[in-house]
Structure 1
Amino acid sequence: MRKNWLTAVICVVIAVTFFVAGFFTRNVFDALSPKYEIIFSQNVSRENIINFNKVKSLLLNSYYEEIDEDVLLEGAIKGMVEAVGDPYTVYYTPDMMKSFMEQQTGSYVGIGVTVFMDDDGLATVADIFDNSPAKAAGMRNGDKIVMVNGEDVTEITDLNLIVQKIKGLPDTEVVLMVYRPEINNYVELSMVRKVINIQYIESRMINDDIGYIQLKLFDEDIAQDFVNHVNKLIAAGAKGLILDLRNNPGGDYSQVVRMADFIVPEGLIVYTEDRNGNRQEEKSGSGELNMPLVVLINEYSASASEILSAAIKEYGKGTLIGKTTFGKGLVQTIIPLEGNAGLKFTTARYFTPSGVSIHGVGVTPDIEVSNDEKYRYYSIDEIPEGEDKQLLRAIDEVSRLISEKEHNK
């Protein structure tokens, strides 16, 4: 599945530079010198600059109600960001920035789901956490959120804004209307928000020889957690590993590099290139994981999941099983702004060790396996283990690799 993101709003301001903490706008053809100003580059047309100031002046002075100038300027900032036409470039209001940072720490107040924008620009549930309000209310993978507390959100192109509307204070109610494709109908779900403490990594022994690690997101401490889980499984007798990256949307770039460093041999892990062709390489040291490894992927495995999967595949350190991944090969940078706002924007493309860009293409599995259609909208944890064809194939492959390794001793 490829996600074609919708864009909105045309902004006439092409380039701006903000000085100090406050904002003030003047007509650049004025001789006045205010304390704060917006400065336009010489490449901006004179007409756009005049129109910018004229529209601002008309709204401030002639609109039928009084308007807060800061509200207009924040709208101009949002317009600039939306005019880029990149779904991964987003202006975060203070509340949105707070929400984003909470997601990186593994704790927030909400309903306990991860979501993505589908081909039609609808917020779609990718995964549902155990013991969450969403699971208790009967939410399903694939549910498409169309209303939040009676507000239509189908025209909102910024996924983070929809997420912000769903979150709130603990013990408060939120009512979602979702479209459920499997029944071709709408379902209303009422939930009480609570603090969600997310376990982004879980592990267990599948049998005497095989360890299993499910990684739901690359959060800020996940690399060391991964190493700890691997060592725990080895101590329990694991001779081979299954790493489950299905439904993992990505996360912290530095963490996936550290994880890859633990798995692959010395060499290039990934590199990025910016608009000027500047290249930044991430390399692994001399250590590597020396045991049979299978990585499970699907169409919801994205970004950091694809970096790790591609490196493992290209170095021959494991077998990829499942479906072709999402195909997100862009790097975003988060810049804090004044007043606790922030800007997330795309700064580079990333490439696999062999120089392949997976953006819009994805990483293909070595062995393609699909689960039954009836489980299409299930979370990974909801699929009965005996009916998870991708996992069963992974167990067979790891068992074969373990036997092969022991035979070659």
Structure 2
Amino acid sequence: MVARSLQMKKQVRTYLSRHGFTLVWALGFGAWLGFGAWNYFNSAEVATPEQVVAARKQMTPGQLAYEKAFRSFETYFRLLGDPDDAKRFAANWQHRFDASGKLKTEEGTQAAIEEMSKVGSLLGCPAQFNGKCLFERAKRAYIRVHYNLGDADLPNLTDPKQRAEWSDMIDKTIDPKLLESEDGVFAAIRQMRDSLHMPFDLVHSPAMTKTETRVREAHFPGIGVPIAVTNVEKNKLGGLFHFFFGRPQSGSPLLGKVQLGDVVLAVNDRNLDGLTIEEAKQFFVGKPGDHLKLQVQRDQDSKPFEVDAVFTCAPDVPNCSSNANLGVDLGITHLNEIPLSEISQVIAEAPVEGSPALGKINEGDLIVAVNHESLNGLIVRQVVERIHGDVDTPVVLTLKRKDASGNYSKFDVTITRKVIEKHAVHFTALEDGIGLVVLDQISSLNVPADFAVAIARTVLPLASEALNGKTDAESLRLVAQFNELNQKLAQGATLDDASMRIAMKARDVYEELGQGGGFILDLTHNPGGEKSIFLDLAGQILPDGLVVSLREREFGTDRIMIHEDSLTPAFAISSDRPLGMGLEGATIHPSVRVPLLLPKKMSFKVLVGPNTASAAELTAGMLQTHKRAILIGRKLPGQKGHSSTLGKGSGQATIPLPYGFSLHVTYLEFYPGGERSNGRGLIADLDADGLSAQRELAIAEIKKDNLAMATRMEDTQLAKDRNREILGNDMRDRANEDHKPLESQDPSRFK
């Protein structure tokens, strides 16, 4: 039932995400709109939760999928559209297919949702592009959703006075001519976004929105070849491209002086524009004690300011005399928009297993044209769009391949596009029963099922080993089941209801009898993902406790709510209450929890780094707060103190707009396990220099834990043996005394 329930959730999410109409907090965190959020809308039309549950029990899967799609469209109609448009949409579409029988099949349901989406996705705007209507919908999204996380220095759109002032400012500063074209509206919305100074708010074009949807579905029509760009550092700074700072690590000479996202304009009075990225990087490495003067700009419209810093490095850093730094990462603004050229070209990585590119494209091939059109001047996103296309259609790629002598040959290959399923969970079985999972992101719908498989593949062999030597029929049956399932999972199977029960039994066997093994979760380059998927993962690895506490704006109102998700051994419990109100004002929503798959006593380590962000930080912070896992961080050269993660503790709702555009709008702050992380990051428990060292340290710590556990188990067994011996001696002594006449027995022996 559990596996089938997860599959149904995935199917319904997929129906909606194809039209960009899931509610996502990004990270991209995705969650169904809760009952509390409906308070903004016409409450007379909203059924009680009990009525909704009763009605849904009578629905077929198709009806349920259509109902959720309708509610999603209706939600955004009411939030962003005009009231009359919302009423017309509800009247025309809510029960449109009730009597047609169309919702009895998956194909019919999908066709019905497609038909509804043609109207619903416009949110009341005309079918023909209307820039003014699009901009107005985007503006309403900020007005009715945005939350500045309580920062007094930023516009507060939950305050009526500040909201009115901000709206007037936008109306006066946006050039009406921008609203006459798609590119102009895109620029105008970004200008409006920038006025709120929230670094993780995004504006997505239709192409970017479509790509994000494909990431969520984990299905891409294409050829199955990841690509990268060569010689990025040979490109020049200036225009769109500037250095920007990551968040300074503890001990950095820039700590308290610069913030995440600050742009570097000049170093030691030398403007960086015109220098290549490679040349400009040299300014940020020096000798310990050398001074550096930086010209920094915080916002596009703010005045630049100067910052002084001194190069430092830790005593254990090699070549410290010439390799000191500032203890902060550098990024490049608009890095993905660097145009391709003879210098920076598209290079192919290894084709995905089972993809149509296997045998036709090799890792390291340069892709110089698509369908005989040169890629020079394009950006990576445009190249991806050209390679993607309809399934079962051909695409011609012009490749340059280097031979053993270093010479390039140029030739064309024709590849037929297929549906490529992309997986974000990468499992490796290490020595001594240790499972390693590299988790790329927490956005794709296949992540929970793949993650469950990875845990099961770690636990099953250990549970089977724990039963070795037992000859009773039940133990032999379980060993056979564990080994058979592990083999199927290794060949690509997923957990259905029956195999999920076997995996849970393996967990119980390990919990009672197992020794050794361990689990490593690598989140070092994980940017985050969807809330609903994060909660599925949390259920698989956390026995019980507070999973996350959110402080979020209730859509369309000025009210700030506290939302909490917790786990008990049997239930998942979510609660909502207004900020400032105690638990007596909370609304509680219990549900059956996702089964715990990772044994509670198994050693668990999590690898994090400066790029671990958002939902990945949420996962790591939850485990650290409950002392379920140790965090092992990556220390930057010269860094003092423990390393930390990015510190993105905010969540963004993905708001669909007409004509395929979308927004990521900040509306919540999250507290992993109840602890604040925004702007701070998570402090690692242990540190290592680089990913390989992190993994080696994790393995060493797991072996240390297992040795301690084995010692405890051995000491416990010795104590049991001693007690059994003492008890046996006492029983023999008592038996000997019992054979004596009563007057000859010594009662003091048995007090």
TM range (shorter): 0.5 to 0.7
**1:359 lines up with 2:678 in the alignment:** yes
User: Matched residues in 2 for 1:199 and 1:69: separation?
Assistant: 37
Task: Name the % identity.
Answer: 20
Note the 1:39-58 alignment, pairs <5 A.
43=165, 49=171, 55-56=175-176
Note the 1:8-407 alignment, pairs <5 A.
19=82, 20-22=124-126, 23=130, 43=165, 49=171, 55-56=175-176, 59=177, 68=180, 72-108=184-220, 109=222, 112=226, 119-123=331-335, 130-131=350-351, 136-137=363-364, 149-151=375-377, 163=381, 166-170=384-388, 171=395, 197-218=421-442, 219-237=444-462, 239-275=517-553, 276-286=559-569, 289-290=599-600, 291-323=602-634, 324-356=644-676, 358-371=677-690, 388-407=692-711
Q: Counterpart of 1:301 in structure 2: which amino acid?
A: T
Aligned residues: 326
User: Matched residues in 2 for 1:234 and 1:277: separation?
Assistant: 42
With over 3 angstroms needed to count, the CA separation of the structure-2 counterparts of 1:120 and 1:339, relative to structure 1, is: closer
The answer to whether the Cα contact below 8 Å between 1:272 and 1:280 also exists between their aligned partners in 2 is: yes
What whole-Å deviation, never above 9, does each CA across 1:299-342 have from its counterpart, x for those lacking one? 22211111111111111111111222222111011122222322
With over 3 angstroms needed to count, the CA separation of the structure-2 counterparts of 1:50 and 1:119, relative to structure 1, is: closer
The answer to whether the Cα contact below 8 Å between 2:423 and 2:446 also exists between their aligned partners in 1 is: no
Residue 377 of structure 1 is matched in structure 2 by none
The answer to whether the Cα contact below 8 Å between 1:270 and 1:351 also exists between their aligned partners in 2 is: yes
The answer to whether the Cα contact below 8 Å between 1:82 and 1:90 also exists between their aligned partners in 2 is: no
- Name whichever structure is richer in strand by fraction: 1
With over 3 angstroms needed to count, the CA separation of the structure-2 counterparts of 1:249 and 1:130, relative to structure 1, is: farther
The structure with higher relative contact order (CA 8 Å, sep 6+) is 2
The answer to whether the Cα contact below 8 Å between 1:327 and 1:363 also exists between their aligned partners in 2 is: yes
CA-atom RMSD in angstroms: 4.1
With over 3 angstroms needed to count, the CA separation of the structure-2 counterparts of 1:103 and 1:168, relative to structure 1, is: farther
Residue 3 of structure 1 is matched in structure 2 by none
User: Matched residues in 1 for 2:685 and 2:650: separation?
Assistant: 23
With over 3 angstroms needed to count, the CA separation of the structure-2 counterparts of 1:51 and 1:261, relative to structure 1, is: closer
Q: TM-score, normalised by structure 2?
A: 0.38
Q: TM-score, normalised by structure 1?
A: 0.66
User: Matched residues in 2 for 1:45 and 1:214: separation?
Assistant: 44
**What secondary structure is seen at the aligned counterpart in 2 of 1:137?**
coil
With over 3 angstroms needed to count, the CA separation of the structure-2 counterparts of 1:313 and 1:138, relative to structure 1, is: farther
User: Matched residues in 2 for 1:300 and 1:174: separation?
Assistant: 34
User: Matched residues in 2 for 1:201 and 1:47: separation?
Assistant: 46
The answer to whether the Cα contact below 8 Å between 2:201 and 2:666 also exists between their aligned partners in 1 is: yes
Q: Counterpart of 2:424 in structure 1: which amino acid?
A: Y
With over 3 angstroms needed to count, the CA separation of the structure-2 counterparts of 1:278 and 1:398, relative to structure 1, is: same
**What secondary structure is seen at the aligned counterpart in 1 of 2:653?**
strand
With over 3 angstroms needed to count, the CA separation of the structure-2 counterparts of 1:191 and 1:337, relative to structure 1, is: farther
- Name whichever structure is richer in helix by fraction: 2
With over 3 angstroms needed to count, the CA separation of the structure-2 counterparts of 1:267 and 1:216, relative to structure 1, is: same
With over 3 angstroms needed to count, the CA separation of the structure-2 counterparts of 1:48 and 1:99, relative to structure 1, is: closer
With over 3 angstroms needed to count, the CA separation of the structure-2 counterparts of 1:17 and 1:396, relative to structure 1, is: closer
The answer to whether the Cα contact below 8 Å between 1:111 and 1:191 also exists between their aligned partners in 2 is: no
User: Matched residues in 2 for 1:85 and 1:135: separation?
Assistant: 43
With over 3 angstroms needed to count, the CA separation of the structure-2 counterparts of 1:103 and 1:272, relative to structure 1, is: same
With over 3 angstroms needed to count, the CA separation of the structure-2 counterparts of 1:404 and 1:362, relative to structure 1, is: same
Per the TM alignment, residue 151 of structure 1 is displaced from its structure 2 partner at its CA by 3.8
**What secondary structure is seen at the aligned counterpart in 2 of 1:246?**
coil
Per the TM alignment, residue 92 of structure 1 is displaced from its structure 2 partner at its CA by 2.1
User: Matched residues in 2 for 1:46 and 1:344: separation?
Assistant: 22
Name which one, 1 or 2, has greater alpha-carbon Rg.
2
**What secondary structure is seen at the aligned counterpart in 2 of 1:77?**
helix
The answer to whether the Cα contact below 8 Å between 1:246 and 1:296 also exists between their aligned partners in 2 is: yes
Q: Counterpart of 1:293 in structure 2: which amino acid?
A: F
**What secondary structure is seen at the aligned counterpart in 2 of 1:335?**
strand
Q: Counterpart of 2:125 in structure 1: which amino acid?
A: A
**What secondary structure is seen at the aligned counterpart in 2 of 1:254?**
helix
Residue 45 of structure 2 is matched in structure 1 by none
**What secondary structure is seen at the aligned counterpart in 2 of 1:362?**
coil
Per the TM alignment, residue 274 of structure 1 is displaced from its structure 2 partner at its CA by 2.3
